[in-house]
Amino acid sequence: MEALGRQILVEYYDCDESKLNDVSYIENSLIQATKTSRATIISHTFHKFSPYGVSGVVVIAESHVAIHTWPEYNYAAVDIFTCGDTIDPWIIQEELKEYFESKNASSMEMKRGLFKVPQGQRLMFKPSAEQEAS
């Protein structure tokens, strides 16, 4: 079975509370981690909740990286979804662990879009018409 994508669900525990409540820090951390993995950033948006928490997403050509933080519990949940095999999503996971100073993390990888492919062939990523034009 071949997969269209990989999704890593990450839970970061025992993080630095102030970092998890700083929308600029969170935004810069996710952008830098995706750049380190050589992902292609399309757009990003982040929101600071009152009094605690940040949610945001970095949309990448290869899919997305999303985060929700609960600073009052020193906890962040991150979803890293990548398509194709041009980037390694585990690089993003490791970078964010360091940025948030997480002392304990739990990660689970899932294969998404599983298909049977005839032996000797590969499942190919088909770019959209917009991506082909650029």
pTM: 0.85
User: Domain holding 46: CATH number?
Assistant: 3.60.90.10
Asked if the structure places residue 97 within a domain, the reply is yes
83 is catalytic: yes
Ranges of H-type helices in the chain: 17-20, 23-36, 89-99, 129-133
Out of 15, 63, 64, 102, which one is annotated catalytic? 63
CB count in 10 Å sphere of residue 107:
16
Out of 29, 37, 64, 83, which one is annotated catalytic? 83
Q: pLDDT tens digits, residue range 5-45?
A: 999 999 999 999 999 999 999 999 999 999 999 999 999 99
Q: Report DSSP state, residue 121.
A: -
Residue 134 pLDDT exceeds 50: no
| Omega prior to 118 cis, within 30 of 0 | no
Instruction: List the domain range (segments joined by +) for residue 63.
Output: 2-119
d(CA 11, CA 102): 9
Q: How many domains does the chain have?
A: 1
Asked if the structure places residue 134 within a domain, the reply is no
Asked if the structure places residue 126 within a domain, the reply is no
